[in-house]
Amino acid sequence: MISVRLSELQNKDVVDIMTGEKIGNISDVEISNDTGNVLKMIVYEKKGLINMLRGGEEVTITWSQIKKIGTDVILVSRNL
């Protein structure tokens, strides 16, 4: 079993593998009450706290959309 801290995930860029586009950075996660597993990651398209406070666009990434968690990036497929 692999464990990763939320703070480690927040430092990684979230990138769409189909377009190569950087979506943003993780700001929050949704965790199952029953199992404790991560269900979804909340990503803001604009990077930084100032942009989040200004209402940056929020994107939800489900756990099944995550294809690879690397040292610097999280690769996702939004075309499911």
pTM: predicted TM-score of the whole model, two decimal places: 0.77
Number of domains, the chain: 1
- Joined together, the tokens standing for residue 24 give 């943003």
Q: Note the pLDDT of residue 9.
A: 87
Q: Is residue 21 domain-resident?
A: yes
Averaged pLDDT in 10-residue chunks for the chain of 80 residues: 79 93 90 90 72 69 93 88
- The β-bridge partners of 25 are 13, 44
Q: What is the extent of the structural domain holding 57?
A: 6-76
Q: What is the CATH number of the domain that holds 52?
A: 2.30.30.240
- The tokens 């199952």 sit on which residue? 32
Q: Is residue 1 domain-resident?
A: no
- Joined together, the tokens standing for residue 29 give 């996660």
Q: Note the pLDDT of residue 55.
A: 59
The tens digit of pLDDT for each residue in 14-37 reads 999 999 999 988 989 999 999 988
